[in-house]
Amino acid sequence: MRFPAVVLPVVLGLATACRAPADESSPRPADDRVRRAAALLDYVASDYGDAVVDGQIASDTEYREQVDFLRGARELVSELPAVQADAVLPRIDAAAGLVGERASATRVLAACRAARAELLARTGVTLGPSSSVSLARGAELFAASCATCHGPTGGGDGAAARGLNPPPRSFQDPQVTGGLSPVRAYSAITDGVAGTAMPSFATLGERERWDLAFLVSSLRHHDAAAERGRAAVSKGAAPPLSVAQLANASDAELVDGVDAAWADDVLAFYRRVLPAQSDMTALAVTRRGVTDAKRVYAAGDAGGARQALDAAYLDGFEQLEGFLRVDSADFVTDIEERFLSLRELTRSGASASEFGAAADRLLVRLDAVESRVAGGASAQAAFAAAFVVIVREGIESALLLMLLCGLVARAGQAGDRRAVHAGWIGAVAVGIVAWFASEAVVRMGGGNRELVEGVVALFAVVVLVYAGHIVLARMDAERRIAALKRRFASIPPAHRRVVLFGMAFVAVFREVFEVVLFLRAIELSAGGAHAAIGLGVAAGSITCVALILAFRLLRGRIRPGAILNGAGVLLCALALVLAGKGVRSLQEAGVLAVRAFDGPRIDLLGVFPTIETMFAQVVVAVAIALVAVVGRRPRAGAPT
């Protein structure tokens, strides 16, 4: 919403809100518990209607979740000072009683809202947004409604700033913004500032007010610093934070404990970039919360583990639910069930090893979330893998066809060449059909996408190893060329064209089948990346054509075997990557067990810190070595 110009001159800058007493500048220790309890109450208020319909439980998982969340909210509130807890607990108990009676959603919603309102009123806590914010939209609102007083860059030098008493402060001043959190800015935007010219902007939508509040906190930071901060966070110099955490913390609190050399850049990233990156930020927060719960439970603190799980769910995974429910409702239910099971384990006295194993399984399942949110492996990796596959298989197919055409030119007739061309064209056509058929098979997997991905990836690994041409491409090609020559010599003239068609079809279809299989495995492991794979196929095809023309123009000067061997080595590396990713997908699908250990995780290379994935890659590496040794042995009866 944009405000008319006659209102703007009387609006005082948001910085006036920073002139509150110093003891109010930092969140009180209980604030985090209040925020989590309020979020739990919100969750029950909005989701109970899906769990109970007309007095009957519609979803047992959802219903048990509502009961557990109310219990968690009560535990959090009971830790508050008695003067606050005593006023709120009866309202939570009333809501819990209604849930236990399977009351109507309207009554439960009213009870939860009343408990939440009482909680916030008694504690004076203002909550943060539940999803990402738009700084771009915040900038538009600032320009329309705030710049007249604050100035276009928030420097407190707007056209209407003169004569305002007190004057607007500068958001470019670290002394001003150091104690200003988006929550405090949101409160000033919503309620106005008594005794100043700043009115309430409550007529703005809630999301717009949060956009504006976060924009105010970002004004003194610059994009270049934010990019350096992004790199620092990715290297572990500072943790990723949820939008709610960013909202409640001042600048000083955000960088507390961060190395001074990185502090300014990390703060710029937190304020200028991270608020708008809800998906991957939420996933990182979810992972960290589950990991913290595992660590805390192992130390003997079941209650702390439960709170860490609540934080992981509410601050992290809940932000992704809307996105995931579009085509993965069963997937979301599975994650919710796993969270619920972990919370139940904290109350049942489970052993640390049992809890840790369940947490590891949840962490592996969250990897599937990442593939759906982030698109899996990088587009660059998908492009490179597709390029290598096309070059490797394309050149070998071309060499075999060139051989057949050469034999036909010396000993055949005009119709023989047409038979060869018909054979390879037919193989390509069948390959195209096979590609679309494989897509239909993948779609049939539906909610079992991880299972399909794992099976396809491991099948591709088997084919890569069994084919024997991963590192022995030239030797394998030479054997096949020799076999083609012997076969051609034995063809009766009357059947030559049929046999030539069959030879060309089989020679090319073997390569086409492998291309379809390998590209499908790459696509699944990359979470799609269709454009990158398409570009890789196009670039590989152009490269194949260029190399084939070079072979014809520079006869004897270019050794195709060396090119095939080079591509074969890269396919060897692809086999190792697919082995790790294939086993990981089966773990995500719940088919294989998960035994985690402290080790590196490099998704791009298919390296994960579990015994099963590492074992699979070792097995593939040994198989490749055996193929290399056996492949170099001369076969009995083979010409030397």
- Whole-model pTM: value is 0.48
Q: Give the Cβ contact number of residue 108 at 10 Å.
A: 27
> What is the average per-residue pLDDT within 517-534?
73
What pLDDT sits at residue 580? 86
What pLDDT sits at residue 610? 84
CA distance 359 to 98: 32
Residue 1 pLDDT greater than 60, yes or no: no
**Alpha-carbon torsion (390, 392, 393, 399), positive or negative:** positive
- Which residue type, as a one-letter code, is found at position 4? P
State the DSSP code for 490: T
130-275: CATH architecture: Orthogonal Bundle (1.10)
- pLDDT, tens digit, for every residue of 218-266? 898 888 888 888 888 877 788 777 777 788 677 877 888 888 888 899 8
The answer to whether residues 529 and 475 touch, using CB atoms and an 8 Å cutoff, is no
**DSSP string computed for 51-89:** HEETTEES-HHHHHHHHHHHHHHHHHHHTS-HHHHHHHH
> Is the peptide bond prior to 4 cis by the omega test (within 30 degrees of 0)?
no
Residue positions counted in the chain: 640
Q: Percent of the chain beyond pLDDT 90? A: 11
What pLDDT sits at residue 466? 64
pLDDT band at residue 207 using 50, 70 and 90 as cut-offs: confident
What pLDDT sits at residue 297? 94
Beta pairing partners, 610: 596
What pLDDT sits at residue 87? 92
- Which residue type, as a one-letter code, is found at position 549? L
The answer to whether residues 572 and 605 touch, using CB atoms and an 8 Å cutoff, is no
CA distance 274 to 17: 24
Calculate the alpha carbon distances from 123 to 27, 31, 209, 251 in Å: 11, 8, 22, 23
The pLDDT mean for the chain works out to 76
Six-digit token pair at 376?
């899996």
**DSSP string computed for 417-485:** HHHHHHHHHHHHHHHHHHHHHHHHHHHHHGGGHHHHHHHHHHHHHHHHHHHS-SS-HHHHHHHHHHHHH
Residue 14 pLDDT greater than 50, yes or no: no
The answer to whether residues 211 and 133 touch, using CB atoms and an 8 Å cutoff, is yes
Query: Of 7, 247, 254, which Cα lies nearest the Cα of 130?
Result: 247
Q: At what angle do helices 449-467 and 611-631 cross, to 10 degrees?
A: 20
CA distance 233 to 240: 7
What pLDDT sits at residue 514? 78
> What is the average per-residue pLDDT within 487-497?
68
Six-digit token pair at 287?
């992972």
- pLDDT, tens digit, for every residue of 398-424? 877 777 777 776 655 667 778 888 888
> What is the average per-residue pLDDT within 450-468?
70
Least confident of 94-98, 241-245, 635-639: 635-639
What pLDDT sits at residue 70? 94
The CATH class of the 31-123 domain is mainly alpha
- pLDDT, tens digit, for every residue of 175-194? 777 767 787 777 678 766 65
- pLDDT, tens digit, for every residue of 341-363? 898 899 898 999 899 888 988 88
CA distance 200 to 195: 12
- pLDDT, tens digit, for every residue of 570-597? 777 778 888 888 888 787 666 777 777 7
> What is the average per-residue pLDDT within 302-324?
78
- Tokens 């060329």 belong to residue: 481
SS3 of 596, please?
A: strand
Beta pairing partners, 148: none
pLDDT band at residue 4 using 50, 70 and 90 as cut-offs: very low
